[in-house]
Structure 1
């Protein structure tokens, strides 16, 4: 058979023949990609990630790689997954076109083009196999029952399935189905560009997500941004310095960074940038000085505190219920010290209902952080909680005020106003542990959306419907309801008054009738 020829062409040669047939030259970066793909295949590496800048021809090259694999072994079964079926069909259609026209692939054309469509096709092969040689499927499609020796994940991550934690979790779950489709020893090849700071292509752990390792931690990687380390174009024949400068001028900075430089950032900038928070490691210490108690964080004395409880019974895992505390120092700066997402235990409902469990946790939180008061949103279910929380505080042995607060403002507006202003002024400190929580992820993903009450305890809509913003809402409640404190300015004992008067003067107040 043709597929058993003793010396088949290498992949780079295979691509060169195709390009010459089309009247094209083989670009240098395509030669590098081809060499990497062939080396990985020959050395037995079966988990590959190819990231390259937009319009670099990476999907075209991977399509040629699929044709080359069938050239070497016509019995291979290849499944192409993409964010939607149309994109997957595009690669299948291109590979079918290569097989029909490439001078080395004539033996793969079947005598009868029975199974020879744009969504799936089968080449001439010895094996009697149920699955086609190549098949397209959308990531949301049903691939149960399919079997493949090679799975190509071509742009499975796009903005519409990666702009929230819920959607990214769904994407990862769907990609996990590949393990049930792939034959033993099969190959997975991911091809794409990142669309999120929490991209499936990230090579570092994001602690706030709770992941133990990056999603593709075991994959061999080939990454090609549009500019090399010296700032030169990686495809100068197509993208000159002037052309790249033009792309930069027409493209938002973050989109250029993600799609052209392969940096793990969301193409759309979030309004609340965690990088603007000032991290600190110090604990809050209660001490006695000059006969009075004081609370210190490092060398700063705290003069006030704010605590906000945003209740919800949205789910047994506690999504929607959050409590946060912020201290304010004598210089008027804010110290975000702790956030807790509360959860109730369904197994304990016979001994304590949901509200009692959440209030007990909130009371323990307040006692631990020496908080003299807490504001409770009374929208929705919150109207029943203040009395339960007071009872929980009494049982805990902590004396504190419970302030009932009915929220009427739009959630988006109050989050943006409360947190955005403090961030912009550089006044928000955050304990280092905060970076380990999902609060940082909420900040990165949050975008204001119109609409009134609807989320959490009914305190107003905000963010996207499938985004969690409960931590943001709790912190915004702390900041918005604490008066701004100006730093103390020591007035000089003597100064020259521009109004023309210095010091004091005396006047005779004895007047004749």
Structure 2
């Protein structure tokens, strides 16, 4: 998951190895437009909404990041973890001593500032909901974690508005060499992530609860959750809901493409 998001951007460790200063990586990189389906309970938020912001702020304190959730409150949960690590993680401090909170500039679950040369009024990291606003005209990184809930994805009006906002407003804020990523669990075959997965310029990663091609070890084996737990989830939730939430499938068990009206009952 982490490699999928970082690869090719100026925050890619392989690119950073080639330069002396983080900003020097911009000419060697390209903007990383990413979409990703991840099953529920697979540590998606920890790896992408916590680990990636910590890495990016550690290597370049001048970076500006936006964490976007369905609601601002959803994005504030990983932000609280990011804050804690910057304040308290001594192992992080030992490797990146320059990463320090700027309490005077601002330090809350809504927005944080780290010590930096740039005296911009825009936060180092801020949170927003999909219908909210982002402070600042330009962002280095936008991470959209489950930006649509089931209700928004099933509503033609809200789904269209979310996609317009993402493509017309959010994407255009991201600077060269940055990251614009949306990731979560499949809601419908026409939701924001599904649409972006088909959008030119986006690189898509489709993860299932099972190792479908053997890339993680054994083909057909669970990649994270115990097999017994997955079997119980399948039994409890039924085939169609299990396929959507744990396999990120946009087809029913018979192989037919899902129709929008079916998803109201899934």
* Match of residue 196 from structure 1: 188
Cα distance change on mapping 1:251 and 1:162 into 2, 3 Å: same
Higher helix content, 1 or 2: 2
Whether the 8 Å CA contact 1:200–1:215 is kept in 2: the answer is no
Distance (whole Å) between structure 2 residues aligned to residue 148 and residue 40 of structure 1: 17
Shift in Å at residue 184 of structure 1?
A: 4.1
Q: 1:223 aligns with which of 193, 206, 213?
A: 206
Shift in Å at residue 117 of structure 1?
A: 0.6
Whether the 8 Å CA contact 2:186–2:248 is kept in 1: the answer is yes
Q: Is the radius of gyration larger for structure 1 or structure 2?
A: 1
Shift in Å at residue 166 of structure 1?
A: 2.2
Q: 1:187 aligns with which of 165, 179, 191?
A: 179
How do residues 396-411 of structure 1 correspond to structure 2 at under 5 angstroms?
A: none
Q: 1:165 aligns with which of 156, 166, 180?
A: 156
* Match of residue 47 from structure 2: 61
- Stretches of structure 1 that go unaligned for 5 or more consecutive residues are 1-32, 204-212, 277-439, 448-513
Whether the 8 Å CA contact 1:201–1:216 is kept in 2: the answer is no
TM-score (normalizing by structure 1): 0.42
Whether the 8 Å CA contact 1:50–1:191 is kept in 2: the answer is yes
How do residues 3-152 of structure 1 correspond to structure 2 at under 5 angstroms?
A: 33-41=1-9, 42=12, 44-45=29-30, 46-62=32-48, 63-100=50-87, 101=89, 102-103=92-93, 104-110=95-101, 112-143=103-134, 145-152=136-143
Shift in Å at residue 88 of structure 1?
A: 0.9
Instruction: Report the number of matched residues.
Output: 235
Q: Taking CA–CA contacts closer than 8 Å with sequence separation of 6 or more, which of the two structures ends up with the larger relative contact order?
A: 2
Cα distance change on mapping 1:259 and 1:113 into 2, 3 Å: farther
Cα distance change on mapping 1:214 and 1:227 into 2, 3 Å: closer
Whether the 8 Å CA contact 1:50–1:190 is kept in 2: the answer is yes
Cα distance change on mapping 1:173 and 1:60 into 2, 3 Å: same
How do residues 363-512 of structure 1 correspond to structure 2 at under 5 angstroms?
A: 443-444=261-262
Whether the 8 Å CA contact 1:200–1:216 is kept in 2: the answer is no
- Stretches of structure 2 that go unaligned for 5 or more consecutive residues are 16-28, 213-218
Whether the 8 Å CA contact 1:80–1:134 is kept in 2: the answer is yes
* Match of residue 502 from structure 1: none
State the superposition RMSD in angstroms.
Answer: 2.9
